[in-house]
Structure 1
Amino acid sequence: MINSDYGLLPKSAGWRKRAEMAYALIVSLKQTLEPLLDSARSRIQISSSELQPIYEDLCYLKSFFDKVKSLEDSNSVEELEKDVKDVLQNARDLIESHLSDVVHSAGDGSWNSSAGFSPKMVKVKDKLSPFIDVLKAKENELTGNQQLPPDVAVPVPVPVLSRINHGIVELEYEVKMLQRRLLESDSALQVFYIVGMFGIGKTTLAKEVYNNEDTVYKFHMRLFVEIGVKYKLEELLLRLLRPLLQERVSEVKKEETVHELGDRLSESLSHRTYLVVLDDLRDMRVWEQLRPYFPDVGNGSRIMITTRMTNMDCFRKYIHQKRLLTHQASWWLFYQIAFSNMKMDMHQKKGYVEIGWEIAKNMGGLPLALVEIGEVVSKLPKTVECWRKVAQNMNSHIQETSIPKAVNAGLPQHLKACFLYLCLFQRHYDIPTSTLIKLWVAEGFIEPEADQSLEQIAEEYLEDLVSRSLVIVDEQSYTGRIKTCGVIHKLVRDVCVTEARQQKLFCIVNEGTSTKNQRRLSIQSDVLLEVMAVSRVRSLVFMCADAEHQDPLPVFERVKWLRVLHALPIRFSKFPDQVLKLVRLRYLAITFEGELPSSISTLWDLQVLIIVSSRAISSPVFLPLEIWELQKLRHLHCMGFDLPLPSTDLNLMKLLTLSGVSFRTCVDGVLARIPNVIKLGIRFNPADHAVEVSCFKAVFSYLNHLESFKCGVTSQSEAAFSLLGFPSGLIKLTLGGSGFLWDEHTSIISDLPHLQVLKLRWRAFCGPKWELYEGGFPRLKFLVLEDLDIEQLIARSNHFPVLQKLLTRRCCKLEEIPLDMGDIPTLEVIEVDECSISLVESARRIQKEQEELGNENLKVRIHSSSDEL
């Protein structure tokens, strides 16, 4: 039996977590079946009648979970969910086992389905059908009475700091600052945002400002409405209207439309100076729907919004970023709560204080955690040993608080597995976005869309997680993309690691860890995997310290259905042959000596291949010709290897990135067969100068989609290659050692209409003077000059019309940065790293002049090991 206000919506956290992981499993299994259903795309031929019924059930399950976001309690539904997840897991095991057997048994390259497969799939369908029937019946029942909730309806919000009645901690300054902004004389309607992660105290701060006596005095009408993640627009408008209409609220008719209610609200506010607080806004679409009903009549009215979201966009706005508490403030908040029931003098409290300080420090400045753990501690028996046990088992106590619910509240189904997956990486590790996105795609977490690549969709997922204050950006490129990121808070990561293990999404493996029934392992220490239960493992991600292995790891023989193998930290003496039997691999990253075997073609499902050979870097070797048979390959990083010219008519049409190769790869016959590459990184060896210069023009004639090009010359060369023919769509260009002359070659680069990032490193250009001309670099945002012998830079503000950052590093001969460059209206940062005293002084002159002109946006940063600077 299934109970719900909106549908099949169980309340319990257990149901929610299983639903989240089931969703990721559904998406992944759908992607496994889709190519098998298309005989033209699949090398393995299986009758579509065997898989189509299961595929249709998966499509229904996905559509159902896409609609249903709020969950109610039902033990029977929890069991039902568990059962369907087990059925789906078994179905995936059967399919992948069958595919592996077919590939391994094919001696002549004819990969046809074996006879015993159909009965197994029939059994899967038979087990899945009752579950589907129950869901469809209940959905039909519900849609006869009401619609399933809109996209914005998600789990019930968790109260954050409503239980803090122990005084305001570290808020006085923030209250005064917001109060000053709120009461300023500007008569136009203004919108204020208080932004930050869950549990950080946004609501507490908003209430302090809302109830301040100066606020009460100025605003004739004050409204405070909590929105959360479960709302109806009509109800929100009614809640705003009730205090305005007071005894006339009965005038509101039930049949009034949203627009009519909104007009009533607008009319009621038009004659008053009002302050409206919209608390806990989880979706900016809510504000877009409400905004037209708040009139701007020039009387100094204000709207304050508390939100986790950072993707707001409003013309008149003020954003206050709520910060975590300092160590001292954290201790003071924890002390007020944990010691509230303790009647002891300070001498008696001494042992408790030491443990309490450690507990408070481990909360990372998050008020919600300090409050909830403080309440746990306050109810303990008054013994030091009890407090010590809490400190030693902090994670288990955190799981019993509202923090796990708060982490997931409002997170859409398609983001949940992606978010948890970030915690697979080590703590304090800056996660490279490029690696993370490749792993998400290979794991099957990304649902394809017709007009976007999987990588583009994954990048949007990551940006969405950042906007929800769950992921922090560690480094961002000047094209606006996220380069490295991490989980926003230690406690959030700990919660997610525990949840991921419970739901068998992944398990972090250290010594003594049980891996039974786990599907993904993150190996973060030297462990004996050969004695662990790994037969069901789909992903092995080695995050341990670099280690050498003379022999292949025995574990490779026991993970025959592996899809992801990230083993870069392990250096193998040769390519491990056992890996070639992992025919379901989509992602392979490995370090080894010697050559890549020709049987790499057996890994026909590979999407990502990252190979590093330290011996081959100095003298690159060609990859085997069979590399061209990997038709699904999307990313190839082969440091120390080159792509050979294929002897047959094969193309890698899906290849998007190619890096690590030398100029020997850049010949017509190779580049014409990878026409969709958008990122190319190559190395130039002057020893092959005669061959490479003659063929280099071909690089750009075939790569019409190229956006990023990086070229490094391994030793000194003069005009190593030609710059003619650069594709007009190039966005990022990095050059080093190429030996170009400023006056002869920079005009070609400066005319590129879309170039945003230009990095010129050691001997990229040579000569004492670079004189720019007007009209060049129309979109350049980021310019790096590093280890160059340039002495004079002659430029005006209109030579870099939209430049945002200028970095000069170890350009010891460069005398100064032209004073006129300070007048570039978009310039935000000038960074000088280990340069001459005169250059540093010129940068400081620019800053001083701009400050005198009222420009406070320009920052000058000086880095130097010299005391004189």
Structure 2
Amino acid sequence: MAYAVVISLKQTLEPLLDSARSRIQFSGSELHPIYKDLCYLTSFFDKMTSLEDCNSVEEMEKDIKEILLGGQDLIEHHLSDAVHSAGDASWTNSAGFSRELGELKHKLAPFINLLKAKENELTRNQQLPTADVPVPVPVPVPSKMDHEIVGLEDEIPMLQELILGVDPKLQEIYVVGMFGIGKTTLTNQVYNSHIIHERFDIRLFVTVGVENKLEELLLRILSQVQTEVKKEETVLELGNRLRASLSRGTYLVILDDLRDMRVWDHLRPYFPDEGNSSRIVFTTRMTNLDCVRKYIHQKRLLDSKESWELFCKIVFADMEMYNCPSELEEIGKTIARNMGGLPLALVEIGKLVSKLQTMMERWAAFAQYLKSHIQKTAIPKVMNDELPNHLKGCFLHLGLLHPNNDFPTYELIKLWVVEGFIEPAADQSLEQIAEEYLEDLVSRGLVIVHERSYTGRIKTCGIIHNLIQEVCVGEARQQKLFHIVNKGATTKNQRRLSIQSDVVLGEDSGARSLVFLSPENQHPLAVFKFSRWARVVHALHIRFSKFPDEVLKLVRLRYLAITFDGELPSSISTLWNLQVLIIFSLQATYSPVFLPVEIWELQKLRHLHCLGFDLPVPSTDLYLRNLLTLSGVSFRTCCDGVLARIPHLIKLGVRFDPGVHGPEISCSDALFNDLHQFESFKCAVTNTSKVAFSLEGFPSGLTKLTLGICGFKWDDHTTILSELPNLQVLKLRRNSFSGPKWELRDDVYRFLKFLVLEDLDIKEWIAESEHFPALQQLLIRRCYYLQEIPVDMGEITTLKVIEVDDCNKSLRESARRIQEEQEDIGNVVLQVRIRSSSNGNTFNDLFYFSNYIFLIDALMPWFLLITYGGSIVVF
């Protein structure tokens, strides 16, 4: 975890080294040597995973982290004092600060020297020439636990059936599941079965893991089929030898623990398809596989009976019948049940319990502190070894969240960025890098995706298993990354707090992050008072009667999400480090007000979500050059050249009220003249009885458009949308378009991939496949009058999903007909999903419920609040 501290401290120092970016001036000669050391540490930790035998570095890493945390406290303390003492001539602490910086550099020096020496030694050892000998890889043999395999009785035949299928083509079969679930055990059982021996002439079992060097992987595979392997051969020569060997008969190759599909992409050319029913079987944690579903076997968790059986076989391994004493059975089953059906956890905890005396008191004490015992197993080390340094902070941070709940990526990404977990790159934004980190955690089987957006980006996610969440919490506590505060707890000297109930902090708590996940807290102001160095305050669930002045003293704040009544004070400008500002005022939603003009002084602001507020015209020549997203504002914000002062804006969400903004406003005149990087626009109208704004003038770069309650006419406006050259996502929601018929004539949506029709009064839709040549997903929801989907839509070659939710019977039947017709011609890619809540009178109930939703939209059409485990998402 030293890596995360290094990255965070580097990001603190970088603006201070640039006098043009910093309000507080420091001598570069004092800070630059420390920054140089941080750059070296970043480089070393990046390379450490590729160096062998780096266990000796771990202890040094802990010491380095403590030094850096002290350095971070020193620098932030000085920054806070400098801000609070602005204009105070008596404040002359620069000499003392310089001396302390020198001491920090002096403490780091011996560790930097040791690491450099260690790096040179390890690099030199790995470059020593080795003898040209075969690279043996043992073929898996039944382990000593094979006779105790539990829960595979139904899965072994299922996997065998996939492998032994009669299709003569070479098939790729994926066994998918989280780490420790038993994928390798299952595959090994099938691999060593008699029926597999008889079927295949050549059988290979190779563990891939994190090894991505193609030459080494080919050498390891070839060593199982040839007695002599020459290391000096090129990749092409090795690959051709493998292809020749596999062409001699039917083959089964198990590639165990595949982490990256790019590895298989490089290997695929050397696995021939001879039309003899050969098979490739992968075990993988990746859940984002893009292949035919019938070749995927999803490895399941154990049920309660199987969990108890495996637990007993581990705990009572020395007993012939694995019998548990009756007086221990209840508490034993409780322990086993808490492992959540994960075989690895049952085995590891079972080993610890097996060392206990078979006494009720011992087992009860063990069960009481089960979470702490999990930390003593191999599971934390397995997880720690799995992750490269740059992912560890992000992954452990997930433990802050409520288990068993979806969490919006929208918030998670921003929290990772402001926490300093993300290492910047020249060609990507911090948010883009953070999304890649999250996808990496998904591919490693540690995070589960609950929902993806129409463009494939992760929308909500969660930790894949309760046990992993517990490991995160325990490891994060040990690493001093964060601490969960429950009912009545008091805590000091914790850097990040997930406050899940009422809490009082001690004075000078030093907390850098305060994430309130419960509305029960009665002392939030006291928390702010004792956390003056806080970077993050996430308190949307706590409703303040007015904006709390205590927050204005948190001058290091980078992220503020808060709910309050009244207006935002002009002194918000004192929080000049703010990157994310999410404010919700219920009072302002009924009568929107302007933000204070001082909001334009927040030059570091990247994301502003302000339900019920508008951006005023600045009185001076100020720009928000770093602002990327803006939502919750009304159309007033889009007038008077305000958006021209946000030149890098990418996403915008607005509300339009014709009664306030005039009967018609042209987007070209009001919005987009100066937005050259603009990609996403969401708009809803409060009064559909009047004409809305014009759709003309959208910038050519627009890729995503969401409209609601606009009342446009199909014939008048859809042609304009079809002319947007880069439009990929189009969501036409509640009454965005009205009228009985949408007929596409010459309109062609050339690059549209995702189309959503939701809560519209349309009855007839006339279209052909040529109108949507790139469409991938079509979603129709609660369009109660629409009779059918154009049958020609099934002919779109790129179409993968048609989804119909709560529509009438005629529309559902048309979707089924399209599916049947496509299956008849061999199209196995297209999936048709039909969901319906209507039966009998329920359909009418749904209709009236939909009308009720219209009333809600009339109040807050531009804003949707969805709660995910104590979080609020702004769309």
- 1:736-795 per-residue CA deviation (whole Å, 9 max, x = no partner) reads 121211111111112223223222223211222221224422233333333322222222
Q: Which of these residues, 303, 320, 333, is aligned with residue 326 of structure 1?
A: 303
Instruction: Please identify, of 814-823 and 42-51, the stretch whose mean Cα deviation from structure 2 is larger.
Output: 814-823
Structure 1 residue identity aligned to 2:404? H
- The answer to whether 1:616 aligns with 2:588 is yes
CA distance change for structure 1 residues 649 and 110 in 2, over 3 Å: closer, same or farther?
farther
* Alignment partner, residue 818 of structure 1: 790
Is the contact between residue 652 and residue 674 of structure 1 (CA under 8 Å) also seen in structure 2? Answer: yes
Q: Which of these residues, 431, 447, 451, is aligned with residue 471 of structure 1?
A: 447
- 1:365-392 per-residue CA deviation (whole Å, 9 max, x = no partner) reads 2111122233333443333444444433
- 1:170-216 per-residue CA deviation (whole Å, 9 max, x = no partner) reads 33443333333333455555443323211111111211221121221
In the alignment, the residues of structure 2 paired with residue 77 and residue 791 of structure 1 have an alpha-carbon distance, to the nearest angstrom, of: 68
* Alignment partner, residue 858 of structure 1: 831
* Alignment partner, residue 705 of structure 2: 733
- The answer to whether 1:41 aligns with 2:21 is yes
**Count of residues paired in the alignment:** 831
In the alignment, the residues of structure 2 paired with residue 161 and residue 488 of structure 1 have an alpha-carbon distance, to the nearest angstrom, of: 29
CA distance change for structure 1 residues 253 and 848 in 2, over 3 Å: closer, same or farther?
closer
Q: Which of these residues, 738, 760, 767, is aligned with residue 732 of structure 2?
A: 760
RMSD: 3.3
TM-aligned CA deviation for residue 850 of structure 1: 4.4
Is the contact between residue 363 and residue 370 of structure 1 (CA under 8 Å) also seen in structure 2? Answer: yes
In the alignment, the residues of structure 1 paired with residue 723 and residue 819 of structure 2 have an alpha-carbon distance, to the nearest angstrom, of: 29
* Alignment partner, residue 345 of structure 2: 369
Q: How does 1:241-640 map to 2 (within 5 A)?
A: 241-246=222-227, 249=228, 265=242, 268-283=245-260, 287=264, 294=271, 300-310=277-287, 318-341=295-318, 349-513=325-489, 515-529=491-505, 532=506, 535-545=509-519, 553-640=525-612
In the alignment, the residues of structure 2 paired with residue 148 and residue 98 of structure 1 have an alpha-carbon distance, to the nearest angstrom, of: 49
* Alignment partner, residue 797 of structure 1: 769
- The answer to whether 1:679 aligns with 2:651 is yes
SS at match of 1:645: coil
CA distance change for structure 1 residues 783 and 209 in 2, over 3 Å: closer, same or farther?
same
Is the contact between residue 68 and residue 148 of structure 1 (CA under 8 Å) also seen in structure 2? Answer: no
TM-aligned CA deviation for residue 311 of structure 1: 6.4
Structure 1 residue identity aligned to 2:188? K
- 1:248-282 per-residue CA deviation (whole Å, 9 max, x = no partner) reads x5xx5676677766665555545344333233344
* Alignment partner, residue 224 of structure 1: 205
SS at match of 2:626: coil
* Alignment partner, residue 839 of structure 1: 811
- Percent identity between the aligned chains? 67
Structure 2 residue identity aligned to 1:519? R
Is the contact between residue 45 and residue 111 of structure 1 (CA under 8 Å) also seen in structure 2? Answer: no
Is the contact between residue 312 and residue 322 of structure 2 (CA under 8 Å) also seen in structure 1? Answer: no
Instruction: Please identify, of 283-292 and 757-766, the stretch whose mean Cα deviation from structure 2 is larger.
Output: 283-292
Instruction: Please identify, of 351-360 and 365-374, the stretch whose mean Cα deviation from structure 2 is larger.
Output: 351-360
In the alignment, the residues of structure 1 paired with residue 442 and residue 536 of structure 2 have an alpha-carbon distance, to the nearest angstrom, of: 25
Is the contact between residue 663 and residue 691 of structure 2 (CA under 8 Å) also seen in structure 1? Answer: no
Q: TM-score, normalised by structure 1?
A: 0.88
SS at match of 1:497: helix
SS at match of 1:375: helix
TM-aligned CA deviation for residue 140 of structure 1: 2.7
CA distance change for structure 1 residues 462 and 623 in 2, over 3 Å: closer, same or farther?
same
Q: Mind listing any 5+ residue stretches in structure 2 that lack a counterpart? A: 130-139, 844-875
Structure 2 residue identity aligned to 1:364? G
Structure 2 residue identity aligned to 1:635? H
CA distance change for structure 1 residues 210 and 829 in 2, over 3 Å: closer, same or farther?
same
CA distance change for structure 1 residues 846 and 255 in 2, over 3 Å: closer, same or farther?
closer
- The answer to whether 1:27 aligns with 2:7 is yes
In the alignment, the residues of structure 2 paired with residue 394 and residue 614 of structure 1 have an alpha-carbon distance, to the nearest angstrom, of: 44
CA distance change for structure 1 residues 316 and 299 in 2, over 3 Å: closer, same or farther?
farther
CA distance change for structure 1 residues 717 and 113 in 2, over 3 Å: closer, same or farther?
farther
- The answer to whether 1:126 aligns with 2:102 is no
Instruction: Please identify, of 85-94 and 494-503, the stretch whose mean Cα deviation from structure 2 is larger.
Output: 85-94
CA distance change for structure 1 residues 81 and 809 in 2, over 3 Å: closer, same or farther?
closer
Is the contact between residue 657 and residue 677 of structure 1 (CA under 8 Å) also seen in structure 2? Answer: yes
CA distance change for structure 1 residues 615 and 245 in 2, over 3 Å: closer, same or farther?
closer
Q: Mind listing any 5+ residue stretches in structure 1 that lack a counterpart? A: 1-20, 150-158
In the alignment, the residues of structure 1 paired with residue 692 and residue 46 of structure 2 have an alpha-carbon distance, to the nearest angstrom, of: 54
TM-aligned CA deviation for residue 695 of structure 1: 7.4
* Alignment partner, residue 183 of structure 1: 164
Is the contact between residue 572 and residue 593 of structure 1 (CA under 8 Å) also seen in structure 2? Answer: yes
Instruction: Please identify, of 494-503 and 779-788, the stretch whose mean Cα deviation from structure 2 is larger.
Output: 779-788
* Alignment partner, residue 660 of structure 1: 632
Is the contact between residue 509 and residue 522 of structure 1 (CA under 8 Å) also seen in structure 2? Answer: yes
Is the contact between residue 44 and residue 112 of structure 1 (CA under 8 Å) also seen in structure 2? Answer: no
Is the contact between residue 507 and residue 530 of structure 2 (CA under 8 Å) also seen in structure 1? Answer: no
Is the contact between residue 103 and residue 111 of structure 1 (CA under 8 Å) also seen in structure 2? Answer: no
Structure 2 residue identity aligned to 1:308? R
SS at match of 2:630: strand
SS at match of 2:146: coil
- 1:810-838 per-residue CA deviation (whole Å, 9 max, x = no partner) reads 33333333333344444444444444444
TM-aligned CA deviation for residue 526 of structure 1: 1.8
In the alignment, the residues of structure 2 paired with residue 766 and residue 72 of structure 1 have an alpha-carbon distance, to the nearest angstrom, of: 66
